[in-house]
Amino acid sequence: MEDSGPAAVTTGGDEQETPPAERFSLPQVEAAEGKFQPVLLYFFLQEDEDDAATRLEACRKLEERLFVNRADVALAAEPFLRLEVNARKVPIAFLKIWKVSRAPTLYVLSHTGQIRYRFTDPSTTPRQLANALSKVAVAAEAEKKKAEAGSK
């Protein structure tokens, strides 16, 4: 599957473009690129970092629906680097770069850090997320194989 550039398929409305590289500021994503590892980036809200009960209800519900006892999502997410960002703990400028205006917000990034999917709808289904994860993982694996074949 060819990399089609920075435009993303979204379920939350408007299309997103990848933030400029110089403002990216997620070293974990940059490290994942060399490993051909796609990224699942999850923005949530939690008042007290040590008390999960203070997590925003919409975030808890989304997590229960998408991540708890979901073998299909877990299998699709296996090759992904999963990063969770408490929106209360990062500068507003960082949230603006990522166009996070509500929580929860999920991004599925390619192994090169390009936004492929953005989910802002709290009613996102496990099937929608698993399909997005699978497509991005397959593309990353194809790029990895192409790179390995080219280095022989």
Task: Please list the residues that pair with 41 across neighbouring strands.
Answer: 83, 107
Which residues lie below 8 Å from residue 77, measured CB to CB, with a gap of 6+? Answer: 40, 133
Name the amino acid, one letter, at 54. T
CA distance 3 to 94: 26
**pLDDT tier, 45 (very low <50, low <70, confident <90, very high otherwise):** very high
| pLDDT digit string, tens, across residues 7-42 | 233 333 333 455 443 344 566 776 666 778 888 999
Which residues lie below 8 Å from residue 46, measured CB to CB, with a gap of 6+? Answer: 52, 54, 55, 56, 59, 86, 88
8-state DSSP, 88: G
Query: Does the global pTM surpass 0.85?
Result: no
Averaged pLDDT, 123-145: 90
Sheet holding 39-44, edge to edge: 9-10, 115-119, 105-109, 39-44, 81-86
Q: For 75, how many CA atoms within 13 A lie in the half-sphere containing its CB?
A: 6
| pLDDT digit string, tens, across residues 61-111 | 988 888 887 888 888 888 888 889 999 998 898 899 889 999 999 999 988
Name the E strands within 13-70.
39-44
Task: Please list the residues that pair with 107 across neighbouring strands.
Answer: 41, 118
pLDDT for the residue numbered 33: 67
Q: Identify which of 128, 118, 133 has the alpha carbon closest to the alpha carbon of residue 80.
A: 133
Q: Cα-flanking dihedrals φ and ψ of residue 43, to 5°?
A: -100, 125
| pLDDT digit string, tens, across residues 109-125 | 988 888 999 999 888 88
Q: Which domains does the chain have, with CATH numbers?
A: 9-150 (3.40.30.10)
